[in-house]
A and B are shown apart, each in its own frame.
Chain A
Amino acid sequence: MSHSVIEASQLSLTFETNDGPVHALSDVSLNIQKGEFVSLIGPSGCGKTTLLRVIADLEQPSEGEISINGMSPHEARLKRAYGYVFQAPALYPWRTIGKNIALPLEIMGYSKSEQAERVRKGLDLVNLTGFEKKFPWQLSGGMQQRASIARALSFDPDLLLMDEPFGALDEIVRDKLNEQLLRLWEMTQKTVVFVTHSIPEAVFLSTKIVVMSPRPGKIHDIITCDFPRDRTLDIRETPEFIDVANRVRQGLREGHSYVD
């Protein structure tokens, strides 16, 4: 018994620039079910971040329909339906980690005691207990990004939108955070839309991989991955994993025209 969280049909988005129109998205149709972990993968300029921003109502599509839980993205944003994790942690440097996690709660008018309780839970969820009183600069990049995930989850949205959250981190930290994110997803049963340009990351995390191609940004292929939810990093050595990864790689190659 599943229902659609995100339904997009024939979305197009054109940015008017001084050098003429840029077709960031063209005829994108996508359906994301509750509890899915969907990765958007593609080379830069394929519109994967733009698509995520359209879902989040940070960009307006030029054409096409999109609904989040049956509402328009705007209504969904006003109802605080999603948590958004950016490429950079974007923690406010004048707030402690605890206060940063409490930021959305303050804005949404949670009581002081509720805020404290949720901050405590959030810190625990991303293994940052004890760092509540530290300022962002006192934490490593990986810890900062974990804090930003806790911030996105603090008000318990059902949908988590992540825009290359681990893109700036080194591979060792990234692997670790990928595993932690998977546990988190398993535990919280959230729907996740995850933008990445790393094939192993996409295959390891996702239930569905959306391969996108650039100029104009469109969906080239949608690949389902059925690894068990409690998978560990070891599955990256299995033939099944390598198989899916190859399909993704092939899709990226087909979609990417190097002729220009």
Chain B
Amino acid sequence: MLTSLWQGKTLPVLVVCAIIAVFWYLGSIWLNADMQRMLFENNGQASYTTAELIEGTLTQEKPKLPTPGQILAELNKTVLETAPTSKRSLVYHGSVTISATLLGFLIGSMLGMGLAILVVHIKSLDRSLMPWVVASQTIPIIALAPMIVVIMNQFDVTGLIPKAVIAAYLSFFPVTVGMVKGLRSPDPLQLDLMQTYSASQWQTFLKLRVPASVPFLFASLKVGVAASLVGTVVAELTKSEDGGFGARLLGGSYYGQTIQIWAALFAAAACAWVLVSLVGVVDRVVTKAMGARP
């Protein structure tokens, strides 16, 4: 039992988590100590033991750095103990974020693949379009997101769509870049082979370029789905009335609810992890069907 733990990933992960937790608690004590001293002073408590001080730093309502225990307690309260339909439930906010993320990821990856196909097949587009694709990613999304929301609002497009568009804006880029590389990955020999069969460009695309691009595509999709979640959260900072993790972050920082912010961050990270893992599962199934070495 113990040896299998050592050989597997479980124990190393647990050890790393424990080390992080120790440093985290030390950090919480250190960062929250000043505030705690002030709290004691305001309460007229002139003398206190170090133990009292430490205990105080770990149980503040609005700490500079909440402890992992406080964050877990908040997660427990907002995920498990609150009804999923309530606006105080992280499950509710999570579902808002995930739906925009998935829609944005779908739009972004379709757009990314479409652009890649065009760029690979039309030489002039390679030169004219690719610089714009790259330039699009140099604009900070935090500056662009409110403008997209405002402009789309002008055309009565509200709700899920503007957020999905912003998510798509972030996720199409890695898909385009990866897919272009993938579609160009066949070596000269594999292309010559198609030539000897006098295969059409369409046949070469379907039977050689597309299957050759699959490993590249999945690597990009993993980056893309995570970027899509980031895009959605940024969009929710602008459109906080609809809820979502971004709205929780914004609300938390408004009222100094640091525990709420950290809980939302943890929940968002967990969602990203699940999404990336799901893409990974599909990746494994597809690559296995395509004869990859186990």
Contacts and interface: CB of A to CB of B under 8 A. Distances in A.
A90 B193 contact: yes
Interface stretch (A3-11, A32-40, A104-112, A206-214): A104-112
B190 A104 contact: no
Interface in B209-227: 211-212, 214
A83 B290 CA distance: 26
A112 B173 CA distance: 40
Contacts of B208: 92
A58 interface: yes
Interface residues of B, number: 20
B77 to A, nearest CB: 49
B193 A94 contact: no
B276 to A, nearest CB: 24
Nearest to A106: B207
Interface in A81-116: 82-84, 86-88, 90, 92-96, 103-104, 106-108
Contact of B211 (A77, A86, A94, A137): A94
Contacts of A58: 192, 195-196
Contacts of A94: 211-212, 214, 290-291
A103 B207 contact: yes
Contact of A95 (B214, B291, B292): B291
A239 B293 CA distance: 49
Contacts of B290: 93-94
A77 B196 contact: yes
B72 interface: no
A80 interface: yes
Contacts of B197: 80, 103-104, 107-108
A104 to B, nearest CB: 5
A88 B189 CA distance: 8
Contacts of A78: 198
Interface in B272-294: 290-293
Contacts of A106: 207
B134 interface: no
Contacts of B192: 58, 84, 86
A158 to B, nearest CB: 14
Nearest to B289: A94
B203 interface: yes
Interface in A40-60: 56-58
Contact of A135 (B189, B199, B211, B291): B291
B115 to A, nearest CB: 24
Contacts of A104: 197
A108 B210 CA distance: 19
A78 B196 CA distance: 8
B25 to A, nearest CB: 50
Nearest to B200: A107
Interface string B179-198: 00000000001101111111
B196 A90 contact: no
Contacts, number: 52
Nearest to B291: A135
Nearest to A57: B195
A119 B91 CA distance: 55
Contacts of A107: 194, 197, 199, 203, 207
A33 to B, nearest CB: 22
Contacts of B189: 86-88, 90
B198 A92 contact: no
A155 B76 CA distance: 66
Contacts of A136: 291
A87 B189 CA distance: 9
A77 B198 contact: yes
Nearest to B187: A90
Contacts of B212: 94
A56 B293 contact: no
Nearest to A88: B189
A88 B188 CA distance: 11
B198 A80 contact: yes
A57 B192 CA distance: 10
Contacts of B190: 90, 92
Nearest to A96: B291
A137 B194 CA distance: 21
19 contacts: A58-B192, A58-B196, A77-B196, A78-B198, A86-B189, A86-B193, A92-B208, A93-B290, A93-B291, A93-B292, A94-B211, A94-B212, A94-B214, A103-B207, A104-B197, A106-B207, A107-B203, A108-B197, A135-B291
Interface of A: 56-58, 77-78, 80, 82-84, 86-88, 90, 92-96, 103-104, 106-108, 135-137
Shortest Cβ-Cβ A-B pairs, 3 listed: A135-B291, A94-B290, A84-B196
Given A92-B208, A93-B292, A107-B197, 18 more contacts: A58-B192, A58-B195, A77-B195, A77-B198, A78-B198, A80-B197, A86-B192, A87-B189, A90-B189, A94-B211, A94-B212, A95-B291, A103-B207, A104-B197, A106-B207, A107-B203, A136-B291, A137-B291
